[in-house]
Amino acid sequence: MTSGTAARRERERQQALADVQQAQTGAALRRRRLGGAAWAAGLLVVVALVTAGLLTSRPTSSTEARMAPDFTLPASDGSSVSLADHRGSPVILYFNEGAGCDSCLVQMAEIEKDPAFAEAGLTVLPIVMNTAQQINADRERLGVNAPFLLDDGTISEAYGTLGVGMHEGLPGHGFILIDADGNQLWHGNYPSMWLSPADLLEEVNARL
C-alpha cells in the first residue's frame, strides 16, 4: 500500500467518524427539541386543565323569583317531609351528591353546629338521591344529625339542580332559599363543594 493510499484511507476514516459524530449530535438536538416541545405541550395541557377547573368551580347564583315547587319526600329516619309543612317560616333546601361525598355531609354537619340558623328561624332540608341505608351510613360516620330527604330525581329536576356538579345524573352542591310564603328567592350553586355556614347565612339574610 502506498503512502498516498494510506493517507487517503485515513482521511476517509476521519471523515466517516466526523459524519457519525455529526449525525449523533443532530439526533441529540432533535431529541432535546422534541423533549422540549413535549414538555411545553404537557405544560399547556396542565394549564388548560387548571384553568378549566377554576372556571367550572366558580359559584353561580340566581335571584329569579318563582313559586317554589311543592313536594313530599321520605326521609332517611323513616318519616316524610312536605315543603308545605314549613309554610310560615323560611326554608333552605340543600341539594347535594349525598353518599360517597364526604364534603357534602361535612357541609351539613357544620351548618348544624351553627346556632344562628335556629336563631333566625331557618330550617335546612338536605336532599339527596340515595337510599336511606346509603346516606345513613355516611351520616353516622360523619356525625350528621339531620335526616336527609330521599329524592328519585323528580324534585332535584324540578329545582334545576341536576347535572350542575361532577355527576350528570345527580344534583350538585347547591342551596335554594324559600321564604315564609313559599316563594323561591335565591339559588346558589357551589361546584367547589363548600360554602361556609356564615357565608350561607349572609346570602340568606340579604334576601329575606
Cβ(133)–Cβ(77) below 8 Å: no
Please give the pLDDT value at position 19: 63
The per-residue pLDDT for range 38-62, each reduced to its tens digit, is 544 554 443 333 333 433 579 999 9
86 backbone dihedrals φ, ψ, rounded to 5°: -100, 10
Q: Which residues contact 82 (CB under 8 A, 6 or more apart)?
A: 70, 71, 72, 73
Overall average pLDDT of the 1-20 stretch: 60
The structure's pTM equals 0.74
Q: Decide if pLDDT at 80 tops 50.
A: yes
The per-residue pLDDT for range 12-31, each reduced to its tens digit, is 666 655 665 676 666 666 76
CA atoms within 13 A on the CB side of 185: 15
Distance between CA atoms of residues 112 and 161, nearest Å: 22
Please give the pLDDT value at position 90: 98
The per-residue pLDDT for range 172-202, each reduced to its tens digit, is 999 999 999 999 999 999 999 999 999 999 9
Overall average pLDDT of the 82-86 stretch: 97
Which residue type, as a one-letter code, is found at position 107? Answer: Q
133 backbone dihedrals φ, ψ, rounded to 5°: -60, -40
The 10 Å Cβ neighbour count of residue 186 is: 20
Between 11 and 143, where is the model more confident? 143
Please give the pLDDT value at position 37: 55
2 backbone dihedrals φ, ψ, rounded to 5°: -75, 160
Burial 88-110 (b: 16+ CB within 10 A, else e): eebbbbbbbbbbebeebbebbeb
Burial 12-25 (b: 16+ CB within 10 A, else e): eeeeeeeeeeeeee
DSSP bridge pairs for 126: 94
